[in-house]
Amino acid sequence: SCTGNGTALTWNTYTNEDATIISGIYAGSNYGSDPRLQVGLKSVIGPTAKFLIDFNVSNYIPQGANVIEATLRLYLEEIHGTSPAIYIGWVTGSWGQSSVTWNSSASASYYTARSHSLPSSLGYVYLDVTPEVQKMVDLGLNEGFKIWSANESTVAWVEFSSRENPNSSSRSAYLVVEYTP
């Protein structure tokens, strides 16, 4: 939905696509229908999990708009080991929730990776994605975000609610963008 206060507009929406991608023997499998999105290293011998998440930013926010603030809300369901810091980058290559795999995601290029700390407790996590959304708007390239562990050599992973989660109406990923056209 989109609302305004005179000059600035606020657009917010739930995710329209999300999928975990997993390395190793799982690299050719699709996890787009899983109820959780995973990030991190599961054991000393792998596999590593990352996830892709998409919102229709370019369908609603015009190219050239000034993004004042953009916040990504995720629901942290589980922490295994210590809660790892994560990287968030914006994706420029196309991917599909029902078809993306670790092997096929190589074409989903990502840029502007920034590190974000995660809390040590479960619940909602709010992440500043203002520069990433501004790049999406500036270039008209919007295939969402890629999220991965900042340290993929340490055994630790987290799980967030996906849009397929039974509690998705309240826990699905959510993006709020304040901007001026």
Q: Which two tokens stand for residue 108?
A: 């989903």
User: Looking at residue 110, which CATH number applies to its domain?
Assistant: 2.60.120
Res. 172: pLDDT tops 70: yes
Full-model pTM:
0.89
**Inter-residue contact 34 to 22 (CB < 8 Å):** no
Rounded to 10 degrees, what is the CA torsion of 173, 167, 118, 139? -10
- DSSP of 58-75: HHHS-TT-EEEEEEEEEE
Q: What percent of the chain has pLDDT over 90?
A: 57
Q: What integer best gives the mean pLDDT of the chain? A: 88
Kindly report, residue by residue over 9-58, the tens digit of the pLDDT: 999 999 999 999 999 999 999 999 999 999 999 888 889 999 999 998 88
DSSP strand pairing (156-161 vs 36-41):
antiparallel
Res. 145: pLDDT tops 80: yes
Res. 110: pLDDT tops 80: no
At residue 17, the pLDDT reads 94
- DSSP of 149-176: ES-TTSBEEEEEE-TTSTTHHHHS-EEE
Q: How many helices (DSSP H) and strands (DSSP E) are in the chain? A: 3, 12
At residue 151, the pLDDT reads 87
Domain hosting 123: range is 2-180
At residue 154, the pLDDT reads 86
- Phi, psi torsion values for 82, nearest 5 degrees: -90, 150
At residue 50, the pLDDT reads 94
How many distinct structural domains can be found in the chain?
A: 1
